[in-house]
Amino acid sequence: MQTDSGYFREPTEKNILEEPAIKVAKHKLVMYSGENYVNAANVVLGDATDKPESQMTPLEKMSIVRVGVTKNALEQLKLKTDLDYDELAKILSVARATLINKKGEEKFNNTLSEKIVGLADIYSYGYDVFENEDNFNQWMFRSNKALNGQTPFDLIDNQFGREEVKDLIGRIDYGVYS
């Protein structure tokens, strides 16, 4: 069956060179992006991209921000992260009504879109490292000694906190005691 992203079939040397392929590996949807296989299950902003945010280049992220993140993409993030509007409003530093009042394909401004993409990047990276969405979602709300006893969620309301949390996830990824 053909889709916009390619074909649902096992990749072979021949079709890897000719066209994108999608396969299932260890119960995860994996997509060939032309260079390597990416875990499509780690895409947080479903409507905005088909590539995990943590594997996007800064230019790809900038492109999404400049176009603007849609309310539909925010809803995908909300569902995947198990966050409610109050929690999203807190970490995005906006009024709850700002998030709720948009509809469907309406887009958020560039400043808010940048924060949403940054949040999606952290969650996408966390899902990849933890290999389980539920485990990572729970980890975000657990106090952490590496963060002076604070929870990762408490820190991601600004750029510096998001960088610290992403750095901590990276240390976990590389097996550095954290």
pLDDT in tens, 109-123: 999 999 999 999 999
Give the per-residue pLDDT at 23.
31
Quick one: pLDDT at residue 48?
67
pLDDT of residue 165: 97
Higher pLDDT among residues 51 and 19, named by residue: 51
pLDDT of residue 92: 96
Q: Which residue(s) pair with 29 in the sheet? A: 24
**What is the pLDDT confidence band of residue 27, given thresholds at 50, 70 and 90?**
very low
So what's the pLDDT on residue 118? 95
Question: 81, 123 in Cβ contact below 8 A?
Answer: yes
Amino acid letter, 18 = E
What's this model's pTM, rounded to 2 decimal places? 0.76
> In this structure, how many other beta carbons lie within 10 angstroms of the beta carbon of residue 126?
28
Backbone torsions φ then ψ of 154, nearest 5 degrees: -65, -20
Q: What does the pLDDT read at residue 47?
A: 66
Six-digit token string for 1 = 């069956």
Interatomic CA distance for residues 175 and 178, integer angstroms: 8
Quote the CA–CA distance of 33 and 19 in Å, as a whole number.
9
Distance CA 99, CA 75 (A): 10
- Copy the structure tokens of residue 93: 């530093």
pLDDT of 97 over the 80 cut: yes
In the structure encoding, which two tokens stand for residue 17, read together? 């060179």
By the 10 Å C-beta count (0-12 exposed, 13-18 middle, 19+ buried), 163 is classed as middle
Is the pLDDT at 21 greater than 90, yes or no?
no
